[in-house]
Structure 1
Amino acid sequence: MEQTRRFNQEKSIWIHVNQQDTAEIRKLQSQYQISDEMLRYSLDKNERARVEYDSEESAFLLVFNVPHQEKEDNHYEASPMTFIIKENCVFSFASEQTDYIQPLMASILQKMPEQSQFNFLFHTLFLIADAFFPLIEEVNGQRVRLNKRLREKTTNKNLLELSDLEVGLVYLVTATKQNAVLLQQIKALSFFRQLNATEQEQLDDALIEAQQAVEMTQLASQVLEQLSGAYNNLLNNNLNDTMKFLTLWSLMLTVPTIVTGFFGMNMPLPFSKSAFGWGIVVLISLFLAIWMFIGFWRRIR
């Protein structure tokens, strides 16, 4: 079901549509003459962030990445949300994951009902870019808590949680980068010179916010990557130490086998007829084993 609201002294109208409501979307297409190409971008849930301006129809299309508020598979993701400006109409197409933007847009019009269409759009993009920050702060908080648990005990469960954080940041870094590039591309479009000073200033504010989101997500990703690398190295070192210990232990156990093997031969050998022969063989074995252990230990250190 579409939601409509007038603004800019009743000269403009905002229409919010659910992407899954195909019947309503087809109705809007027929009523407002939205092209099939733009409509296809609006309905594609896997569409990348993009911006286009059709000078012949005076239609502006923008696909912006919106972060999810709920986790999926133990990490946050982002989905595209489409905005179309044509004539005096602003269309927003949201999915189930991005529909929380609708009340934010409504609050913008409630506070500033006299703003223009592009000012309304750029203000919305500013709030979407700002929505990434709480997620990044939550990821950083989880990283700190997880790091404390890993310092106490490096378990598979904790390492899997660390991997989930890394996967989630990959989605957030990619989404914020695409958003920042998209806002920068708007300035290269021909219609940018048609924007007034207020609209250009609001676009610059949205671009600055998007670039800050990129920097924060990249920083969080780099810190998490360093942390993951450190624990991987720690696990490798622990494995190496374990293998060294097992190698030394196996070498020590071969010495008594070799020594007792000689004395088990059916031929004359020293101490073979002595009453203390068994004890002497044990002492020889211990001496050689300890000597070998000390020699190899000094070498591997």
Structure 2
Amino acid sequence: MINKTTFNENKCEWIDINTTNSEELSKLYEGYGIDSEVLAYSLDKNERAHIDYDESSNTFVLIYNVPNQEKIENHYETIPMTFLVKDHVLITVSNDKNAYVAKMMKQYLSKYPTISTFKFLFSSLFMISDSYFPLVEEMDKDRKKINDKLKEKTTKQNLLELSDLEIGIVYLVSASKQNVVLLEQVRTHAIYKKLDDSEKEQLEDASIEAKQLVEMTQLTSQILQQISGTYNNVLNNNLNDTMKILTVLSILLTVPTIITGFFGMNMPLPLEHNVMGWLITIVISVVLWFTLSLILRKIMK
């Protein structure tokens, strides 16, 4: 599915192709004289954020990390999205998971129909960074809920939910950092010299927004790590207390075992012919048991 939109008094054109079909995308690239090498990473789901510039065809390629707004295994992930600028034509390669970006771009273009191609590109990158924040805020709310549950009871289910949040924030932190590096590379690229003041200003705004996103995701990640570490310590402490109790009980149980075992030997023993010998044996065991328990209590304190 290909959507074409002209703007800036018909001087510029935006083409959005929503596809995962390499043949369909290849035909579009051929029509605009774009190198076939770009085709490979335009459809690669694992492509890292980066920029590329083909001077011979005057094609500027930008791969940007976009949040997938649908949860996968109870956490959010990111996917790459391709932006190409050739002369005054902006081409975006989208799919069902990041089609919402094209909708945001369309709404933005309807408000500002006279912007240039690069300003439209950098404005789109700004909006993508901005789309991360609701997801991070949602994760903060989920983190507070899970933390409250863990304070009441540290269950396996609650710990797994906390783990899902940690996995999700790792994706967002990594993606946002890559985006910041990418925008910094644009500022040091030869293409930057061709931008006008308005386009440079929009690039600066996109860079600031991306850096703010990195700070927010890192803060959330640090809080989650702190919570996870705290409850790991709590579980280890509970385990230590349990082992301590079991150790004390095992020591105390050795007292009657030793005494009864001693009097159970097949040899002449004290109280052997005494009718109350078994009762005396029990009394001795109880006295020694309480004596040992008092000693252990003082040691543990």
After superposition, what is the alpha-carbon deviation per residue over 1:80-136, rounded to whole angstroms, capped at 9, x for unaligned?
000000012100001221111011000111000000000000000000000110000
Shift of 1:271: 3.2
| 1:112 is the counterpart of 2:102 | no
AA aligned opposite 1:286 = V
Shift of 1:295: 2.5
Give the whole-Å Cα distance in 2 for the aligned partners of 1:182 and 1:292.
Answer: 69
Contact 1:13 1:88 in 2 (8 A): yes
Give the whole-Å Cα distance in 2 for the aligned partners of 1:57 and 1:23.
Answer: 21
AA aligned opposite 2:90 = V
Shift of 1:53: 1.9
Query: Kindly tell me: are residues 95 and 297 of structure 1, through their superposed partners in 2, closer, same or farther at Cα, counting changes over 3 Å?
Result: farther
Equivalent residue, structure 2, for 1:176: 176
For residue 100 of structure 1, give the secondary structure of its aligned residue in structure 2.
Answer: helix
Give the whole-Å Cα distance in 2 for the aligned partners of 1:153 and 1:171.
Answer: 28
Equivalent residue, structure 1, for 2:32: 32
Paired residues for 1:269-284 under 5 Å? 269-284=269-284
Equivalent residue, structure 1, for 2:87: 87
Contact 2:22 2:39 in 1 (8 A): no
Give the whole-Å Cα distance in 2 for the aligned partners of 1:123 and 1:69.
Answer: 20
Give the whole-Å Cα distance in 2 for the aligned partners of 1:260 and 1:165.
Answer: 56
**TM-score, with normalisation over the residues of structure 2?**
0.96
Paired residues for 1:243-282 under 5 Å? 243-282=243-282
Give the whole-Å Cα distance in 1 for the aligned partners of 2:297 and 2:176.
Answer: 52
Paired residues for 1:87-166 under 5 Å? 87-166=87-166
Contact 1:60 1:86 in 2 (8 A): yes
Contact 1:146 1:158 in 2 (8 A): yes
Equivalent residue, structure 2, for 1:202: 202
Equivalent residue, structure 2, for 1:296: 296
AA aligned opposite 1:11 = K
Paired residues for 1:25-64 under 5 Å? 25-64=25-64
AA aligned opposite 2:152 = E
Identical-pair percentage:
50
Equivalent residue, structure 2, for 1:227: 227
For residue 69 of structure 1, give the secondary structure of its aligned residue in structure 2.
Answer: strand
Give the whole-Å Cα distance in 2 for the aligned partners of 1:176 and 1:287.
Answer: 68
271-280 vs 126-135, which moves further? 271-280
| 1:286 is the counterpart of 2:283 | no
For residue 240 of structure 2, give the secondary structure of its aligned residue in structure 1.
Answer: helix
Give the whole-Å Cα distance in 1 for the aligned partners of 2:130 and 2:164.
Answer: 23
Shift of 1:274: 3.2
AA aligned opposite 1:25 = L
Give the whole-Å Cα distance in 1 for the aligned partners of 2:19 and 2:166.
Answer: 30
Give the whole-Å Cα distance in 2 for the aligned partners of 1:23 and 1:89.
Answer: 21
**TM-score, with normalisation over the residues of structure 1?**
0.96
Give the whole-Å Cα distance in 1 for the aligned partners of 2:14 and 2:290.
Answer: 84
AA aligned opposite 1:251 = I
Contact 1:2 1:24 in 2 (8 A): no
219-228 vs 264-273, which moves further? 264-273
Give the whole-Å Cα distance in 1 for the aligned partners of 2:186 and 2:292.
Answer: 73
AA aligned opposite 2:87 = E
Structure 2 segments unaligned to the other structure (5+ residues): none
Shift of 1:4: 0.7
Equivalent residue, structure 2, for 1:4: 4
Contact 1:64 1:82 in 2 (8 A): yes
Shift of 1:54: 2.0
AA aligned opposite 2:233 = N
Shift of 1:297: 3.5
Query: Aligned Cα RMSD in Å?
Result: 1.3
Give the whole-Å Cα distance in 2 for the aligned partners of 1:288 and 1:3.
Answer: 89
